[in-house]
């Protein structure tokens, strides 16, 4: 009896463990939709997986494409369920998770395969130049006549095969506070403000004037970083070696100067609480930098009905022309929903109704020139946030000159790393600029074994 009992106990123990590990492994992947019919009714999958690092595009997908928003992570279009998988972009977490999923694409079940994923300019090359993405012309996205040329070349591989499309065009501008500009310059007229900051020398001079009136020119030294890095004349990595462009050096010079002179409110990360607190009405900073998506999606503090100051803003080109970011939709190789993937892409570049809504209702600068230009010349079109100013008028002009150049797949972490480590120098935590650069080089050495750092 005793023996029997002990055998039973031992078996139970082992079983219990087997059960634990069993349930553990089956719980990991997202459960497939339970109402999938037993026999396949159509050739294409019933679940479309979309990968994103924020909800900007997902919200548009819900509003302008799907039939029904089921919940925060699920949409319905016909009998297809659209699911969202999101990881934060910071520190490469999104790329990291996406890479793992794409490398596992061949083994994943149809309903768990990545079908459509978003990528930023900073690392889009990594995906377009690999077999993980496919030729969108082959699935039915063929009409690029209305899109901006740079958005197509950015999503093309080395041989010119187009792997994706963008739903936005991202010429960027200076977004300034009207009330502060009035106080400093006596006017908030975009043309006059532009004249006062038409190049970096003028910008510096205006910064001194701002300081004299008790304001800051910029919320953080990192705010101008993208203007400089976007105008770099060489990429981050040349022939496998880390390369720091002269324009990045110029940004360092300016940042050092601005901290010394007190022209900047903070030295922090642009997304951090410090810099974004300057967007409130109580903020003392004149200039923010960014494209349409920046002021309609990332300046939520400025849009805050109580503490914000919507309407007290305006845009002008600023000291140097540049563009920033953009979100591309790429078609993942192995997708079981090619038709819907192509349909989504076509919707956001060629469906004029949708593009129209993006501009008129969402303050986007869409990737449809026809629609954008229509609004650019429409005297009745204006943004409430920008105090009635027509942003398309500015952006349509700036969009003409965008070239997608000097880009590498390593850009995101090079940009993040350089800003982080140089900020330590600005904060007085490392003695010299060289120390900061050394720390940055160590970081790149650890992060990218394939890049030679000298």
Partner 1 sequence: MPKKKSISYAKWGYIFIAPFFLVYIIFTLYPQILTVYNSFFEYYRDGLTIVGPNFVGLKNYQTLFQANNAGYVPIIKFLGNTLWLWIIGAVPQFTVAMLLALFFTSTRLNIKGQQFFKTVIYMPNLIMASAFSMLFFALFSQVGPINQLLVANGWASQPINFLGMRVTVQTLIGIMNFLMWFGNTTILLMAGIQSIDEALFESARLDGSTSTQVFFHITMPLLMPIFIYVFITSMIGGIQMFDVPQVLTNGYGIPDNTSTTLIMYLNNFLGISKNYGMAGAVSVLLFVITAVLSSIVFKTINKK
Q: Kindly list the residues in this chain that would bind partner 1 in the complex (CB under 8 A).
A: 6, 10, 13-14, 17, 90-92, 95-96, 99, 102-103, 126-127, 129-130, 132, 266-268, 272-274, 277, 409, 413, 420-421, 423-424, 427, 429-430, 434-435, 437-439, 441-443, 445-450
Residue 403 or 445: the one with the smaller Cβ distance to partner 1 is 445
Element (H, E) at 441: helix 433-447
Residue 322 or 410: the one with the smaller Cβ distance to partner 1 is 410
Q: Are 283 and 163 in contact (CB under 8 A)?
A: no
- Minimum distance from residue 85 beta carbon to partner 1 (Å): 18
- Minimum distance from residue 288 beta carbon to partner 1 (Å): 17
- DSSP string of 211-265? HHTT-BSEEEGGGGHHHHHHT-SS-SEETTEE---HHHHHHHHHHHHHHHHT-EE
Residue 107 phi, psi (nearest 5): -90, -15
Residue 17 or 238: the one with the smaller Cβ distance to partner 1 is 17
- Minimum distance from residue 70 beta carbon to partner 1 (Å): 30
Residue 36 or 420: the one with the smaller Cβ distance to partner 1 is 420
Separation CA 201–CA 253 (nearest Å) = 13
Separation CA 367–CA 357 (nearest Å) = 12
Burial of 439 (0-12, 13-18, 19+ CB in 10 A): middle
> Angle at CA 292, nearest 5°, toward 395 and 92?
125
Hey, what are 202's tokens?
């003028």
Residue 194 or 276: the one with the smaller Cβ distance to partner 1 is 276
Separation CA 150–CA 136 (nearest Å) = 16
Residue 95 or 156: the one with the smaller Cβ distance to partner 1 is 95
Residue 356 or 424: the one with the smaller Cβ distance to partner 1 is 424
- DSSP string of 79-138? TEEEEEEE---GGGHHHHHHHHHHHTTTTS-GGGS--EEEEETTTHHHHHTSTTB--GGG
- Minimum distance from residue 359 beta carbon to partner 1 (Å): 34
Going by C-alpha positions, the residue among 292, 290, 51 that lies closest to residue 169 is 292
Q: What are the residues facing 264 on neighbouring strands?
A: 218
CA-only gyration radius of the chain, Å? 25
- Minimum distance from residue 90 beta carbon to partner 1 (Å): 8
> Angle at CA 42, nearest 5°, toward 41 and 43?
135
- Minimum distance from residue 243 beta carbon to partner 1 (Å): 15
- Minimum distance from residue 4 beta carbon to partner 1 (Å): 12
- Minimum distance from residue 252 beta carbon to partner 1 (Å): 17
- Minimum distance from residue 214 beta carbon to partner 1 (Å): 14
Pairing mode of beta strands 164-166, 264-266: unpaired
Residue 38 or 106: the one with the smaller Cβ distance to partner 1 is 106
Residue 6 or 41: the one with the smaller Cβ distance to partner 1 is 6
Q: Are 120 and 90 in contact (CB under 8 A)?
A: no
């Amino acid at each position: 009896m005793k023996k029997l009992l002990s055998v039973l106990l031992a078996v139970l123990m082992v079983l219990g463990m087997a059960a634990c590990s069993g349930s553990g492994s089956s719980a990991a992947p997202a459960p497939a939709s339970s109402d999938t019919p037993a026999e396949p009714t159509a050739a294409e999958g019933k679940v479309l997986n979309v990968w994103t690092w924020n909800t900007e595009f997902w919200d548009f997908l819900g509003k302008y494409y799907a039939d029904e928003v089921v919940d925060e992570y699920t949409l319905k279009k016909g009998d297809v369920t659209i699911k969202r998988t999101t990881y934060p972009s910071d520190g490469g977490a999104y790329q990291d998770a996406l890479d793992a999923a794409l490398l596992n694409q061949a083994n994943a079940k149809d309903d768990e395969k990545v079908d459509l994923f978003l990528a930023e300019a900073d690392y889009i090359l990594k995906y377009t130049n690999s077999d993980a993405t496919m030729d969108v012309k082959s699935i039915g996205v063929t009409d690029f006549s209305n899109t901006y040329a740079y958005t197509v070349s950015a999503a093309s591989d080395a041989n010119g095969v187009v792997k994706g499309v963008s739903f936005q065009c991202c010429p960027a501008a200076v977004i300034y506070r009207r009330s502060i500009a009035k106080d400093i310059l006596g006017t908030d007229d975009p043309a006059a403000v532009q004249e006062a900051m038409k190049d970096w020398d003028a910008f510096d001079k205006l910064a001194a004037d701002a300081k004299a009136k008790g304001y800051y020119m910029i919320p953080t030294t990192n705010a101008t970083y993208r203007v400089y890095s976007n105008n770099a004349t060489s990429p981050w990595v040349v022939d496998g070696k880390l390369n720091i462009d002269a324009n990045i050096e110029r940004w360092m010079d300016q940042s050092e100067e601005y901290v010394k002179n007190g022209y900047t409110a903070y030295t922090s990360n642009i997304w951090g609480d410090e810099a974004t607190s300057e967007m409130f009405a109580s903020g003392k900073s004149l200039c923010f930098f960014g494209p349409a998506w920046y002021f309609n999606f990332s300046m939520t503090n400025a849009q805050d009905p109580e503490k914000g100051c919507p309407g007290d803003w305006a845009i002008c080109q600023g000291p140097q022309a540049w563009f920033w970011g953009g979100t591309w939709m790429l078609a993942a190789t192995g997708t079981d929903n090619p038709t819907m993937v192509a349909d989504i892409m076509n919707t956001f570049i060629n469906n004029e109704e949708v593009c129209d809504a993006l501009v008129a209702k969402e303050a986007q600068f869409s990737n449809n020139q026809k629609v954008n230009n229509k609004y650019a010349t429409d005297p009745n079109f204006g943004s409430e946030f920008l105090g009635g100013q027509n942003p398309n008028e500015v952006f349509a002009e700036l969009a003409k000159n965008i070239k997608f150049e000097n880009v590498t797949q390593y850009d995101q972490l090079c940009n993040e790393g350089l800003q982080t480590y140089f900020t330590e120098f600005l904060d007085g935590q490392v003695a010299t600029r060289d120390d900061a650069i050394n720390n940055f080089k160590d970081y790149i050495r650890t992060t990218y074994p394939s890049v030679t750092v000298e």
